[in-house]
């Protein structure tokens, strides 16, 4: 079974880095989709089969937190695992995300090996 992953980040550099790390995980990867904000992310989720979302929080148009809130309202998206990859340091925000069901939170900057472990754990939970 190959995993389809959506990377939601306003930085094309960060999206590229995450894709590179995903390629190093040796996980069976299917499609890798990209979105530059939460609104685009929701559109990609609704148009494609996605197994995991890797999302930044601080983005224009629709933040990652707003996207997660919208996902929780949608029966088709509410159980989709989300890993937040962000520079957000506000513990109250991070605690709120955990209550919303965010599987893991990775602080930027991060080591590739850490992101790999987190992705493997998150995907293992649905495998």
8 A C-beta contact, residue 104 and residue 115: no
Going by pLDDT thresholds of 50, 70 and 90, the confidence category of residue 5 is very high
Structure tokens at 92: 């109250």
More confidently predicted of 33 and 125? 33
| Mean of pLDDT over the chain | 90
- The whole-angstrom separation of Cα 114 and Cα 16 is 17
Cα Rg of the chain, angstroms: 13
What CATH number does the domain containing 83 carry? 3.40.50.2300
User: pLDDT at position 126, please?
Assistant: 55
Query: Phi and psi for 76 in degrees, rounded to 5?
Result: -80, -20
Given a cut of 90, is residue 76 above it in pLDDT?
yes
- 10 contact partners, CB below 8 Å, separation of at least 6: 36, 37, 56, 58, 59, 60
Interior angle at CA 62, CA 96 and CA 50, nearest 5: 80
Residue numbers of the domain that contains 89:
3-113+120-124
Residue-wise burial string across 86-107, b where 16 or more C-beta atoms lie within 10 A, e elsewhere: bebeeeeebeebeeeebbbbbe
User: pLDDT at position 14, please?
Assistant: 93
More confidently predicted of 69 and 1? 69
Region 19-26: mean pLDDT is 86
> Poorest-confidence range of 49-63, 65-79, 109-123?
109-123
8 A C-beta contact, residue 125 and residue 103: yes
Determine which helix (DSSP H) or strand (DSSP E) holds 67, and give its type and residue range: helix 64-73
Going by pLDDT thresholds of 50, 70 and 90, the confidence category of residue 80 is very high
Total domains in the fold of the chain: 1
Going by pLDDT thresholds of 50, 70 and 90, the confidence category of residue 46 is very high
């Amino acid at each position: 079974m190959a995993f389809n992953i959506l990377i939601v980040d306003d930085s094309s550099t960060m999206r590229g880095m995450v894709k590179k790390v995903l390629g190093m995980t040796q996980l069976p990867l299917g499609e890798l989709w990209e979105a530059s904000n939460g609104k685009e992310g929701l559109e990609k989720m609704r148009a494609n089969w996605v197994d995991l979302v890797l999302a930044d929080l601080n983005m224009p148009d629709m933040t990652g937190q707003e996207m997660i809130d919208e996902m929780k309202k949608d029966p088709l998206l509410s159980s989709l695992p989300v890993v937040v990859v962000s520079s957000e340091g506000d513990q109250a925000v991070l605690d709120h995300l955990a209550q919303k069901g965010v599987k893991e939170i990775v602080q930027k900057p991060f080591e590739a090996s850490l992101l790999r472990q987190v992705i493997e754990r998150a995907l293992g939970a649905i495998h």
